[in-house]
Structure 1
Amino acid sequence: MMVSTTPARGGSARVFGLDLLRAIAVLSVLAGHSLDHGKAPVWMVRYIAPLAVYGVEIFYVLSGFLIGHILLRSVASGKLHNPTDILDFWKRRWARTLPLYMFFLLVYLRFDYHGPGDLRQVWSFFAFLQNFAWQIPPFFTHSWSLAVEEWFYLLLPVVFLTFHWLLKSDGKAIFATALVFLLVPLASRLVIGHHLTDWPGYDGYIRQTVVCRLDSIFMGVLCAYMRIHYPGFFERSVKFWWVGFGLFALLYMILSVIHYFNPASAWAQAAYLPLLSFSIACMVPAASKLRSTGLSVLDVFISHTSKVSYSLYLGHISMLTLVLGIMDQFGWVADSLHRTALLYIALAIFYYAFANLTYLLVEQPYIKLRDVRMGHSDVRSGNVAIAVGSPDPAGQPVPELGLLVAEPDHS
């Protein structure tokens, strides 16, 4: 299977289309949170601000697609059949995600949007328990999605290994694991959400709760499974990207345009979020083929935004808080379209400046340290797991693909 790539540092390559999806995801979150401030046009607040919700879902599917390749390739090579292998997987994930998260957890103790935090009150954030089966408290609230991802990384290999021991078969263990990660979140949404009647309640107790959201990431894993085990089907599905896009657009219209979504409906609680993730997963095959937008400057912007997306996501609220605080000090109010435009320009500059700083000084050093200590040349590494064993139509191996993990979070 031929995958389109663009050059990246270090001689590896990146999947440009997946970089594009990741850039769209993080920019949607930044736009949604920024539009809560100033005096933006009504149409912009109504139709663009809700994209923050969908940006998170894109992150989830991309994360599942990457992790699915790593775990499935590891299973096939006999590297996920004992507790030592699982511990190795966790160490690699935690070395990638925890340093920046812990850095920002300390930053938000002082510079959170909701005001300074109390270390005694936020202990749950150190163990990713802030939103396990309950609404996240008013502190570092955009960390909810990262908690979902961390629990997914923690539970998925454990569930698989347990079923492997019980069933003595990789295939049966994968099938049983899929049932757990699809049915448990479904049941959780129905049980936790039976009393909900409005969107704020649904948003806090369902959309942003760990036990209710694990199936969204698993949609990306299923996409990886199709690419590995049914490459012909994955290849043919590229032509039907419009099906996923059409479903995505319909779900967007239901929630954000005509406001038809009813959180009190058992059907809505059960189906809306996994359908949304499914629609994104349907677009991943086509995205993996995309080479370029046709504009080199735009391509560079997209690739760079994707590269620093984790820093952008975690750090933007601190910069939003800083800019609003400066405005308050000088008595400057964004009470017109002109002033609001200036506010958004300033926010964009602060967002990217701080993200680049934290990427270079916090995120990248730990990535390099992990690769030095743990290696990056086998299927435990995302770039190798994505590339290995996938020939193009002419039967030639695909070049190594670098796929930066989508550590989000989100709205």
Structure 2
Amino acid sequence: MITQQMTARPVLGHLRQLDGIRFLAVGLVLFDHWTMEHIDLPVGALGALGVTIFFVLSGFLITRILLSSKDKLSKQPSGGLGKYLKVFYIRRTIRIFPVYYLTLFVLYLVNEPPVRRTFGWLSLYATNLYIAYHATWMGTVDHLWSLAVEEQVYLFLPLLLFFIPRRYIVLTSLLMIAGSVILRYALYRARLPWFIGYVSTPTCLDAFGLGMLMAYLWLYKRTQFEGLFQSSLWVWLGLLGFISVCLLNYWIALNSSRGYHNIMSDVWERLAASIFGFFLIGRAVIGFDGAMKWVLENPVSQYMGRISYGLYLYHNFVFNVYHTQPTHFTVRAWRRITDVLPFLNSSYSFQFSFYLALTVAIATLSWYLIEKPINNLKDRFTI
């Protein structure tokens, strides 16, 4: 039976600095999608880094929830599989589905072209499958591929973690990491379009595998977890490794016929980003001190992390430097503002701030009017 208590799950608790990590991750995506054609910096990998950090974080949080639930139900007949799955999927549905499908419905009504054209794929969380199958991007709904990956992972990860013995979790994590890298390499060698290896769920599993490994250490090997993540040195080394891969990528791009999408970007960049995310998130779980503590725990970071799902979901419809047409309502609104205040055209930072303010406003309304009231229902369903 599902409990009807209105209390939170104290056994896992809230890890405060992870809200700040969510803010950093979504900030990287927004910066990439809104600035690529307006600055002379190689920022193309930043959006991918933000998404990968989200994947590692999801792997950690979801594995932590699932293994904790499995342990609580282990003494029940048949291990409590039915309750384990029921509670997990109800809570995930409450958190993710309402605002996602409401967004699709509204965009369908206002005749957003890619939503009208691919509504079935979008409604089934198959955006990444559409992109891979048709070997094409989808315009303003491109970013929904990562939400599709998350949902597809949720389909198999609960069963995987329920049935594999605890002693095999580390091995399973390592197989996910290695298998994902090998598959990306095979796709690269086959010279398939690069974004197939970018958006396909099996090629994203190194990030989730590292998150799973982190959760295992947090739950069952706390001393080793604290020893591994106590120092910030590994975070900076992870960042240095990611930067090194990006620099090698640009060097190869200048000296190879493969251009920007070479073996570094197509195979190794996500692994480097995942390793950086692994150490960044693990250190945040322990708790950063000093300047990073302020970055992650200040009220702005905390609030933006809280509404990060809305920020990510809506930002592409507000503006995307790759897809937004000159007739889009936000672009026309900006032109009207600058007709009155022409000095705002002196720097792209003003336009960026306009899109950010608009996205934050929409995400805030979404949070208080839709997400938060519905999320409060989650505490009715606990193990």
- What amino acid is the match of 1:352? V
Aligned counterparts of 1:284 and 1:188: Cα–Cα separation in 2: 25
Tell whether the 8 Å contact from 2:145 to 2:199 is kept in structure 1 after alignment: yes
Q: State the TM-score, normalizing by the size of structure 2.
A: 0.78
* Aligned pairs (5 A) from 1:178-327: 178=173, 181-196=176-191, 201-202=193-194, 204-255=195-246, 259-260=250-251, 269-288=266-285, 289-290=287-288, 293=291, 299-320=298-319, 322-327=329-334
Structure 1 position 296, deviation (Å): 9.8
Distance 1:322 1:65, change over 3 A: farther
Aligned counterparts of 2:183 and 2:39: Cα–Cα separation in 1: 38
- For 2:376, the equivalent position in structure 1 comes to 368
Structure 1 position 260, deviation (Å): 3.7
- Residues 21-40 of structure 1, C-alpha deviations (whole Å, 9 max, x = no match): 21111111111111146xx4
> Secondary structure of 1:131's partner?
helix
Distance 1:111 1:331, change over 3 A: farther
Aligned counterparts of 2:296 and 2:281: Cα–Cα separation in 1: 23
Tell whether the 8 Å contact from 1:16 to 1:290 is kept in structure 2 after alignment: no
Tell whether the 8 Å contact from 2:338 to 2:345 is kept in structure 1 after alignment: no
Tell whether the 8 Å contact from 1:254 to 1:260 is kept in structure 2 after alignment: no
Q: State the TM-score, normalizing by the size of structure 1.
A: 0.73
More helix by proportion, 1 or 2?
A: 2
- Residues 188-213 of structure 1, C-alpha deviations (whole Å, 9 max, x = no match): 3234333338xxx42x2112222211
| Match for residue 68 of structure 1 among 54, 63, 68 | 63
Is 1:127–2:124 an aligned residue pair?
Answer: yes
- Residues 282-333 of structure 1, C-alpha deviations (whole Å, 9 max, x = no match): 2323212136757699700010011000011101122225422424678969
- For 2:325, the equivalent position in structure 1 comes to none
Distance 1:252 1:94, change over 3 A: farther
- Residues 74-119 of structure 1, C-alpha deviations (whole Å, 9 max, x = no match): 222236652442233122112211112112222443669xx52354
Distance 1:129 1:188, change over 3 A: farther
- Residues 159-186 of structure 1, C-alpha deviations (whole Å, 9 max, x = no match): 334x44xxxx4434x3564365335434
Distance 1:248 1:295, change over 3 A: closer
- For 2:102, the equivalent position in structure 1 comes to 103
Structure 1 position 371, deviation (Å): 2.2
- For 1:35, the equivalent position in structure 2 comes to 35
Structure 1 position 335, deviation (Å): 11
> Secondary structure of 1:77's partner?
helix
Structure 1 position 239, deviation (Å): 3.7
Distance 1:89 1:248, change over 3 A: same
Task: Provide the alpha-carbon RMSD of the alignment.
Answer: 3.4
Stretches of structure 2 lacking an aligned partner (at least 5 in a row):
1-7, 320-327
Distance 1:297 1:259, change over 3 A: closer
Tell whether the 8 Å contact from 2:20 to 2:301 is kept in structure 1 after alignment: yes
Q: Number of residues paired by the alignment?
A: 349
Distance 1:236 1:176, change over 3 A: closer
> Secondary structure of 1:82's partner?
helix
Tell whether the 8 Å contact from 2:311 to 2:360 is kept in structure 1 after alignment: yes
Aligned counterparts of 2:68 and 2:298: Cα–Cα separation in 1: 30
Distance 1:36 1:176, change over 3 A: closer
Tell whether the 8 Å contact from 1:57 to 1:216 is kept in structure 2 after alignment: yes
What percent identity do the matched residue pairs reach?
22
Structure 1 position 240, deviation (Å): 3.6
Aligned counterparts of 1:232 and 1:156: Cα–Cα separation in 2: 26
